[in-house]
Amino acid sequence: MNTQEYIALEEQYGAHNYHPLDVVVHEAKGAWVTDVEGKKYLDCLAAYSAVNQGHCHPGIYEVFTEQAKKVTLTSRAFRNDQLPLLYKKLNEMTGYDMSLPMNSGAEAVETAVKTARRWAYDVKGIEEDKAEIIVASGNFHGRTTTIVGFSDDPASYKGFGPYCKDAFPMHEYGNIEDLKSKLTENTCAVMIEPIQGEGGIVIPPEGYLKAIENLCKERDILFICDEIQAGLGRSGKLFAHYYEEVRPDIVIIGKALSGGFYPVSAILADKEVLGVIHPGEHGSTFGGNPLGAAVAVRALEIIENEKLIERSAELGEYFAEQLRAIDSDRVVNVRARGLWIGLVLDRKARPYCEALMDRGILCKETHENIIRFAPPLVITKDEIDWALERISDVIKTV
């Protein structure tokens, strides 16, 4: 079958909940993918940062196949010999006492919401069913009905109500004074993305995260950072909140936690916070299963051993500098942290993404006029140079 035949099948039998570029991927390795007709593309999206370690990393594949021969799922009704190793690795790598594993990023966000609310009632003493979690404008934390209920993007929330808006007051992202104005006696947490990825790599003003941390400490409020896309090396540090040297009470992780082999997510916190969750109060059939745990441990080891965080910082700075050097009045701004770059145009970005696809580069537009570049962290400088030549040509000529 050729590209158009696959597209026709998808359009006929699949729900139209995405607007993908018309490339049908058949194989992938490292920073490259190959379509069903044999054409190669440099992947500059990395499955929204789920494959920071590169596609089909042989080290993760080795563990994946080895564990799949032993046991893949026991459910949490029993213990397994892989989950304790993941708990230990996350503690050693991040410093948090405990973690609670789930599957998708949205599930981990829901877990953080439930944990914060239980802490509000059991520890802070907020009246039952009154706890509020302050969120930020422009947020994207997932697609469940709870989460889209505190989005301000109509494409995410419109038509899926009713919502519990009062439980999630919204402040202007980056505006600490507006955040202060939203605080009440029922505020139990502030949840933000340290860098807004779906918003177009939006970096808050310097001092914003530190101000939130200080405010939360003063008011006995939990500080929650959603690091699902920003974390595990994407921003040039293990976590994007490291740029301001803060320590949130809860950190949400996912995507690159499994290197693209298996859905694994988690929240990280100390015992004073995660200790409020007791048996039977939260769980998941697949969360913490031995296959996912084994894969996650190896995925984390690869981030460390291959120095992918350092590569992201160094190559990301180079990539961004070269994009800023493109001589075109169509480029409004380049926002970047590590290998996470938002190229802001003065017009719609979709035609440029389509033209880049024709030239062998896969990327994706967001918020109409922004092109996101987020290649696997194993990309080389030569591959970046190859991409830059084509990106510059497309920006200037399309």
Catalytic site positions: 140, 226, 255
Q: Which residues pair with 267 in a beta bridge?
A: 100, 252
Count other C-beta atoms under 10 Å from residue 281's C-beta. Answer: 10
What is 300-341 written as a DSSP string?
HHHHHHTTHHHHHHHHHHHHHHHHHT---TTEEEEEESSS-E
The number of residues in the chain equals 398
CA quadruple 308, 312, 313, 319: dihedral positive or negative?
Answer: positive
φ/ψ of 361, rounded to 5, equals -125, 130
User: How far is residue 70's CA from residue 229's CA, in Å, rounded to a whole number?
Assistant: 31
Cα separations (Å) of 238 from 47, 103, 235, 242?
Answer: 18, 20, 8, 7
Amino acid at 227: E
